[in-house]
Homo-oligomer: A and B are copies of this chain.
Amino acid sequence: MTLQTPRFPGSNAERSRLWNRALVLRHVRTAGASGRAEIARASGLSTQAVSNIIADLTGEGLLAEIGRRQARRGLPVAQYAVAPSGGHALGVELRPDAARAVLSDLAGRALWSGRRALAHAGPDEVAGEINTLRDEALAGSGVCPDRLLGIGVVMPGPFGHTGLAAAATELPGWEQTDPAPFLESRLGCAVVIENDANAAAVAERLSGVAQGLEHYAFLYFGAGLGLGIVSDAGLLRGAFGNAGEIGHVRIDGRRLEEVASRVSLARRLSAAGHAAGTVEEIEAALDAPETGQWLDEAAAALGQAVVLLENLLDPQVVILGGALPDALIDGLISRIVLSPASLAARPDRTLPRLMRGAAGRMTATHGAAALVLDRLFTPRLDAA
């Protein structure tokens, strides 16, 4: 084995097993409780192979038999389902001033959540705070430490040096540090790093409105406007992990973020004398005329952006979500008029072109946990 994981690693019996294990778990999760034969048909494996894998997984507590059902003829099928408490993931959302965390089980349910203020958001302090959050989460939920599959961390992007003006959201002190290996060595467990939009996109696939979808885009309202692209059932991350910087795209001569973001709404509201620093305050100003004006303007710009995404990426659907009240997302969706001159205006559509994300405003934190769980359910050749 090389030290540097190659782009395409060689395959062998053990990696085949890992791949097929993920295949079994994924089928059980997405298609619901299933019997061996059904999983075998869906995966192309022999029933015997599925049997062996199921024996492993039940032994490890990841899978559980949930009874037998006599459907048609024949022997009643032994139904297996993911055991929610077979594994857990800690999702951490890092912001310059605080870290939020959620401990989630395999079913995606939050067992514990917490928050810690950050005086400085540099690598050392962050590692320490995540460590504390993990301890609190495990203690507070009674979860056994060796049932923690990994920690997902959502950081504000873009990562590395780019031509984009350093937004106020970027974390200081991380310029020289590659977050994933650093945190992995400090925390002693698997760490997945993503930006908020990507995490939100993954969360929707795991337990939101994008279940079963393989191609979609998620427009994420954070401080600015982010974009998570899922293509061929995987995240599109780009050469440096920074794909999806849609906020800086110019629509009608203005950066999309200036028109369609929480910051742009807050600016408009506070100019009119409303407090608009938090989601709650924004929610309180739902009926303000400024909110209506913002909706109209934002919807016009977003409409063009969505058609742009449709034409470039040919997704099954575009999802809107993030740290905005559901009512505002719905308001945007109802106001957005999508051009029929788009790839996506196909007559045989089954899904709407726009949907609202299901995860609500804790999307990013939940998404961080979802990143870890997603790895368990996604066949991969490259690691354990």
Contacts and interface: CB of A to CB of B under 8 A. Distances in A.
A231 B41 CA distance: 31
B44 A6 contact: yes
Contacts of A162: 342-346
Nearest to A344: B163
A43 B10 contact: yes
A314 B231 contact: no
Interface stretch (A11-19, A61-69, A73-81, A139-147): A11-19
Given A163-B342, A248-B341, A343-B164, A314 B243 contact: yes
A111 B136 CA distance: 68
A161 B347 contact: yes
Interface in A35-54: 41-45, 49
A315 interface: yes
A316 B241 CA distance: 11
A346 B166 CA distance: 12
A49 B49 CA distance: 24
Interface residues of A, number: 75
A347 B163 CA distance: 8
Contact of A238 (B19, B23, B233, B314): B314
Interface in A236-255: 236-246, 248-250, 252-253
Given A8-B23, A8-B379, A308-B308, 14 more contacts: A8-B43, A9-B44, A10-B19, A19-B381, A162-B346, A163-B340, A163-B342, A164-B341, A232-B237, A236-B313, A238-B314, A248-B343, A250-B304, A309-B312
Interface of A: 1-2, 5-13, 15-16, 19-20, 23, 26, 41-45, 49, 158, 160-165, 214-215, 227, 229, 231-234, 236-246, 248-250, 252-253, 304, 308-309, 311-316, 339-348, 379, 381
